[in-house]
Chains A and B, each alone.
Chain A
Amino acid sequence: MFQIFTDFAGWIVFGLMGLLPSSKLGDALHFFVEDVSKIAVLLAVMIYAIALIRATLNVERVRDYLLGKHRAIGYVLGSVFGAITPFCSCSSIPVFLGFTSAGIPIGITMSFLITSPLINEVAVLLLMSLLGWKFTLLYVVAGMAIGIFGGVFLDAIRAERWLESFALEALQRGQADQSAGVNHGVKEQTVMSFAERHQFAKAETVDIFSRVWKWVIVGVGLGAALHGFVPDGWIEAHLGGGQWWSVPAAVLLGIPLYSNAVGVIPVMESLIVNGLPIGTALAFCMSTVAASFPEFILLKQVMHWRLLATLFVILLVAFTLLGWLFNGLTPYL
Chain B
Amino acid sequence: MKVFKVLGTGCAKCVSTEQRLQQVAVRIGIEVGVEKVQDPRQIMAYGVMTTPAIVLDEKLVHQGGIPTVGQIEAWIKE
Contact = CB atoms under 8 A, between A and B. Distances in A.
Contacts of A59: 49-50
Interface of B is mostly: loop
Contacts of B11: 88, 90-91
Contact of A97 (B10, B12, B43, B64): B43
Nearest to B48: A94
Contacts of B33: none
A99 B44 CA distance: 10
Contacts of B17: none
Interface string B35-63: 00000110110011111000000000000
A93 interface: yes
Given A88-B13, A90-B8, A302 B40 contact: yes
B37 to A, nearest CB: 11
Contacts of B43: 93-94, 97
A87 B9 CA distance: 14
A185 B47 contact: yes
Contacts of A93: 9, 40, 43
Contact of B9 (A58, A90, A98, A101): A90
A166 B14 CA distance: 24
A90 B48 contact: no
Contact of A98 (B7, B10, B41, B47): B47
A60 interface: yes
Interface in A182-227: 185
A298 B9 CA distance: 9
A94 B13 contact: no
Nearest to B43: A94
A170 B44 contact: yes
Contacts of B9: 90, 93-94, 298, 301
A183 to B, nearest CB: 13
A63 interface: yes
B64 to A, nearest CB: 7
A131 interface: no
Contacts of B7: 94
A321 interface: no
Contacts of B8: 90
Contacts of B64: 58, 91
A60 B49 contact: yes
A95 interface: yes
Nearest to A207: B65
A90 B40 contact: no
A98 B40 contact: no
B51 A90 contact: yes
B50 to A, nearest CB: 5
B49 A94 contact: yes
Contacts of A97: 40, 43-44, 49
Interface string A289-301: 0000000001001
Interface in A54-110: 58-60, 63, 87-88, 90-91, 93-95, 97-99, 101
B49 A95 contact: yes
A93 B44 CA distance: 9
Interface of B: 7-14, 40-41, 43-44, 47-51, 64
Given A91-B51, A93-B43, A95-B50, 15 more contacts: A58-B64, A87-B50, A90-B11, A90-B14, A91-B11, A91-B49, A93-B9, A94-B9, A94-B48, A98-B44, A98-B47, A98-B49, A166-B41, A298-B9, A301-B9
Interface of A: 58-60, 63, 87-88, 90-91, 93-95, 97-99, 101, 166, 170, 185, 298, 301-302
12 contacts: A58-B50, A59-B49, A87-B50, A88-B13, A88-B50, A90-B14, A90-B51, A91-B64, A94-B7, A94-B43, A97-B40, A98-B47
